[in-house]
Amino acid sequence: MTEPSKAPVGELLAQSLLAWGIAGSVERTSDGAFRIHAGAREISVERATGDLPFRWMVAVGGRSRGAVSILALLRQLRAALDPGYAAKRVRVTVAPPVPS
């Protein structure tokens, strides 16, 4: 396995673990995937094939899900590693101005 710091995505994943306060490690496999080890969890992150509408595939506990962006990848990773994490979503809609 190679060092994650050789790839920007691997370094981002490793730094994200630090920022979230999650003890773990990120390794890059020979086929280019990333393996994240944190506690008893092992998560696999790899580039999606060209025929899929996703950029990344995230496998947790034998279940694989697509992530359309690096932000979606980080959201899935955080949710899998931190059960207390509550994702905050923002909705922006067009509405008439509120009278003052």
pTM attached to this predicted model: 0.75
Cβ(32)–Cβ(46) below 8 Å: yes
Give the integer Cα–Cα distance in Å for 22 and 46.
Answer: 21
**pLDDT one-digit tens code per residue, 27-38:** 999 998 999 999
**pLDDT one-digit tens code per residue, 37-72:** 998 889 999 988 888 888 999 999 889 999 999 999
For residue 38, tell me if it sits in a domain: yes
Q: Average pLDDT of 91-97?
A: 75
For residue 21, tell me if it sits in a domain: yes
Beta strands in 1-100 (DSSP E): 25-28, 34-38, 41-47, 56-60, 63-67
Cβ(67)–Cβ(57) below 8 Å: yes
For residue 93, tell me if it sits in a domain: no
What pLDDT is recorded for position 22? 92
For residue 74, tell me if it sits in a domain: yes
Residue 80: φ, ψ to 5°: -75, -30
Provide the residue range defining the domain that includes 33: 4-81
For residue 28, tell me if it sits in a domain: yes
Number of separate domains in the chain: 1
